[in-house]
Chain A
């Protein structure tokens, strides 16, 4: 169906149709005009010729000089063979018979007009009806000639009639030459205009096609902006591009937000579950450890039993450590963070860095003291620094940046080790991370719990071959000082 075609074809097709119709209408009207002009020119030149020749012919008729009359009527035809074909001049005597003709074989001397054909008969009738002085013009579509008849008269004495006869066939031949030329010019114009139109249509529709394609891909999650500078103009298509970019941006934000919410909710659920399980374990655990302590102190167990008790105590202590790690409690009493705390962490981290031969670069831009819980910040800093040094690996590089940024404490640690995979990023802060190569996989979980409980934000990103963990904490946080 034509109307369902792509605009890339529809636009040029309609354009071409308009061009062709315009060309046809113009050519046709010009041709009609040309035919009218040709006919009028023919009649005019016939009349002019007749008037010019009527005078010498009057003398020839007066002297009854057939030869001079013949020379006179053949004169305009002698020079030009083509016009000789196109017309003939005919002199009638006073009785209406042929006196002389430029083509005596066609119109022999003394012939009655009636025997020359029906159109001559018609002309004879018209001449008989017409007035004496005015030229008689016979130009009917059903006769093969155009006749212009003029009186050969002087001083109101009429000696005969001069007839200029044009063969319409030859008029048509001349006109068909005009038509042929017009057709070629029209074709030439079309040959130039149609490709331009095709090209123009393609150019007009290309940006529309692009935005249509991109819109149809939104469903499959492709929300990239259009390449800048693709369409620099401010017309409707330019506005459409801007609108598309805005819409894509908003959609991207929405998707990101949704993912963030899901992640946060999941983390919260995991947190609640972990906390309640930890509490449930903690209570009987405390009892069991107390019981073992009592047993060690007051009972006299044999060596075998002592061994078993020690085994139980070690196992329960491990459970308590793990549960304690799960139960991150931010509301512990602590002192404000000082520069010395950071220095302590540097000292703590240094041996590990030495071991893995990683270079750790510290950039610290902090005031002497900050209203942040020192214990927790130290915990976060240590966890993240250890992770980074491990990830950087042998000879790797780790940058640690600490500073204040628009009223918030900001901590960024980056390493040039193996980048995080998409899968890793998805469940980065979950407890017992299966991606943890060392330890129990609670390090990032603890960081996350601390930061979120302090109303801060923690996130990971990768760029330019670096993996970066950033923490930002609001400073107006109230510290429960010891």
Chain B
């Protein structure tokens, strides 16, 4: 589990674990890490079978993982990057207005929280390392929203799915932030299988996820996750991200 979704909703995760155990008829262990890098390390060390990653780590890991499923959010397996500022800042309209300010990134391996804003600056011909007066990582989208809400940062780029889910879970926090720009849509953060996972286990888990929306317990969990369900995906969905990484020279 990574901060690609609200992975600190522990009660919901405990319910999901019980649900999966009853469907898969085997023990399930959720391994939570606060940065993508740690989760990626665990995959590379064969310590994990499945992981919910962000687009960027998925692409970085390449052949070490296989795409298992993608969540469907608001009718399609896609999400955006939102550029947010404190709601007290009523002037800023685009990233250009944030010049010389303090900016919070989510994670160095986050697509919407790190790649997108830097790509945006690059396209505008700005140097991301000097454009802001100061930048820092909060290691999750949730915390990036907190950083902007508290006034610690004057801007941040966050996952649209996390921001909108937070709007339901913690509306007071989200109300202190304002979205000034929305990115194009990218493929939703994927659930992947480590390359050594057998095809039987792969198919079994995939089936359980695909059918979650078909039974009440699964629907209740999806409701809490603020998702429609899980669907199949393809690496092509992440082409735009690959392109951005190429432009930034990160690949």
Contact = CB atoms under 8 A, between A and B. Distances in A.
Interface of A: 64-67, 70, 74, 100, 103-105, 108-110
Interface stretch (B58-66, B116-124, B137-145, B191-199): B137-145
B181 interface: no
A56 to B, nearest CB: 16
24 contacts: A65-B136, A65-B137, A66-B134, A66-B152, A67-B104, A67-B137, A67-B139, A67-B147, A70-B147, A70-B150, A74-B150, A103-B151, A104-B151, A105-B88, A105-B150, A105-B151, A108-B102, A108-B151, A109-B102, A109-B152, A109-B153, A110-B102, A110-B133, A110-B134
The CB with the most chain B CB atoms within 10 A, among A65, A70, A108, is that of A70
Nearest to A101: B152
Contact of A67 (B88, B133, B136, B151): B136
Given A66-B136, A67-B152, 9 more contacts: A64-B136, A66-B152, A67-B136, A67-B147, A70-B147, A103-B151, A105-B150, A109-B152, A110-B133
Nearest to A74: B150
A70 B150 CA distance: 10
A104 B134 contact: no
Contacts of B138: 67
Contacts of A100: 152
A104 B101 CA distance: 13
Contacts of A105: 88, 150-151
Interface in B94-153: 102, 104, 133-134, 136-139, 143, 147, 150-153
A122 B150 CA distance: 27
Closest 4 CB pairs of A and B: A66-B136, A105-B151, A104-B151, A104-B152
A22 B150 CA distance: 52
A110 B104 CA distance: 14
A321 B142 CA distance: 146
Contacts of B137: 65, 67
A378 B86 CA distance: 136
A317 B234 CA distance: 176
Contacts of A110: 102, 133-134
Contacts of B133: 110
Nearest to B154: A108
Contact of B143 (A64, A67, A108): A67
Nearest to B143: A67
Contact of B134 (A65, A70, A74, A109): A109
Interface in B141-189: 143, 147, 150-153
A64 B135 CA distance: 10
A105 B139 CA distance: 22
A109 B136 CA distance: 11
A68 to B, nearest CB: 9
A64 B137 CA distance: 10
A88 to B, nearest CB: 12
Contacts of A67: 104, 136-139, 143, 147, 152
A160 to B, nearest CB: 15
Contacts of B153: 109
B157 to A, nearest CB: 15
Nearest to A106: B151
Nearest to B135: A66
A244 B104 CA distance: 99
Contacts of B152: 66-67, 70, 100, 104, 109
Contacts of B139: 67
Nearest to B148: A104
Contacts of B147: 67, 70
A109 B133 CA distance: 10
Interface string B66-107: 000000000000000000000010000000000000101000
The CB with the most chain A CB atoms within 10 A, among B104, B133, B137, B151, is that of B151
Interface string B15-34: 00000000000000000000
B146 to A, nearest CB: 9
A67 B139 CA distance: 9
A109 to B, nearest CB: 5
The CB with the most chain A CB atoms within 10 A, among B137, B152, B153, is that of B152
The CB with the most chain B CB atoms within 10 A, among A67, A100, A105, is that of A67
Nearest to B136: A66
A97 to B, nearest CB: 10
A255 B5 CA distance: 117
B214 to A, nearest CB: 40
A85 to B, nearest CB: 15
Nearest to B86: A105
A361 B246 CA distance: 154
A280 to B, nearest CB: 135
Nearest to B137: A67
A108 B143 CA distance: 18
A165 to B, nearest CB: 17
B197 to A, nearest CB: 34
A74 B137 CA distance: 17
A65 B143 CA distance: 13
A74 B150 CA distance: 10
A190 B104 CA distance: 61
A103 B102 CA distance: 15
A360 B55 CA distance: 145
A84 to B, nearest CB: 12
A110 B136 CA distance: 13
A132 B112 CA distance: 43
Nearest to A65: B136
B139 to A, nearest CB: 7
B172 to A, nearest CB: 14
A364 B63 CA distance: 155
B16 to A, nearest CB: 26
A64 B102 CA distance: 14
A98 to B, nearest CB: 11
A284 B8 CA distance: 153
A110 B152 CA distance: 10
Contacts of B102: 108-110
B138 to A, nearest CB: 4
Nearest to A100: B152
A66 B156 CA distance: 14
Nearest to B140: A67
A70 B146 CA distance: 11
A193 B150 CA distance: 55
B85 to A, nearest CB: 13
Contacts of B143: 67
B60 to A, nearest CB: 22
A383 to B, nearest CB: 123
